[in-house]
Structure 1
Amino acid sequence: MSQLLSSTPRGARLARLLAVQQLDRWGWPPAGAAGESVALVVAELASNAITHGRVPGRDFRLTLTLEATDTLRVDVADSRGERLPLAGAITPAEESGRGLLLIDALTDRWGVEPRPPSGKTVWAYLTLR
């Protein structure tokens, strides 16, 4: 599933709702631990995309890929490639970036890759249980 969404709070909310609906279609109920974790991860990554990756007039893209029977890849791509979050660089004492601690706690691994010509994709893998 891949969807282009507006870089607005409404777009971030819609990303979370679409992710939970897609997970339900794949057999993972929204009220379960997997659904709740995916909702939180997508909400945080989408929020970061509209807060730190927004370029006026450009949208962000949410892509969900079920890579194995129990492994989900979440990709959130935005248009600001010069602002790259660094995995492991955030501590609880930091004033910003704490959402990445949540991503660290809920995912098996996550990272960032450039998306030429000027964007980035933040990706995360979650084992669905």
Structure 2
Amino acid sequence: MFVQRFSATPRGARLARLLALHEWDSWGVPYTSRYAQDAAAVLAELAANAVLHGRVPGRDFEVALDLPQPGTLLIEVTDTRGEALPTSAPEPPDSDAESGRGLVLVSALAKDWGVRPRTPAAPGKTVWAHCGCPPGTGRMFFWR
């Protein structure tokens, strides 16, 4: 499992996406594969939402990545704002709207996604998504 905190800024969201691509590549999901690109788009949307809608001044957001079962990448993005929950069945916005397509994209690219609250001792929420990856993908560990 890969877990990292990022500043709740556009730069932090961009860094989360880039580090995830690097991590998945080390797990055997190449940067340029459809799997990695779809998962990176999902992560980018969830991280952008954490920055735009889940930001609490002075608090970071956290990204956790895992391979819970063969053929599935798990992406979790946790922020510290629990009252702004995404809808599980997002409606596409009007064609002239300038925003509101992020979760529609997540719904289209992820196998499944959802949201769960954090514990009362740690306010906020975790938005998770399952994305596809090549069967037989596994983590590779390198000793330095």
User: Mind listing any 5+ residue stretches in structure 2 that lack a counterpart?
Assistant: 135-144
Q: What pairs with 1:13-52 in structure 2 (closer than 5 Å)?
A: 13-52=14-53
2:139 match:
none
Please give the per-residue CA displacement for 1:48-83, whole angstroms capped at 9, x wherever unaligned.
Answer: 000000000000000001112210110000011000
The answer as to whether partners of 1:92 and 1:101 remain within 8 angstroms in 2 is no
Q: TM-score, normalised by structure 1?
A: 0.94
Distance in 2 between residues matched to 1:3 and 1:52, nearest whole Å: 19
- Percent of matched pairs sharing the same residue: 52
Aligned residues: 129
- Mark the structure with the bigger radius of gyration: 2
The answer as to whether partners of 2:21 and 2:36 remain within 8 angstroms in 1 is yes
Over the aligned positions, Cα root-mean-square deviation in angstroms equals 1.3
Runs of 4+ in 1 over 4 A off after TM superposition: none
Q: What pairs with 1:41-120 in structure 2 (closer than 5 Å)?
A: 41-93=42-94, 95=97, 96-117=99-120, 118-120=123-125
Distance in 1 between residues matched to 2:31 and 2:91, nearest whole Å: 29
Q: Relative contact order, CA 8 A, sep 6+: which one is greater?
A: 2
User: Mind listing any 5+ residue stretches in structure 1 that lack a counterpart?
Assistant: none
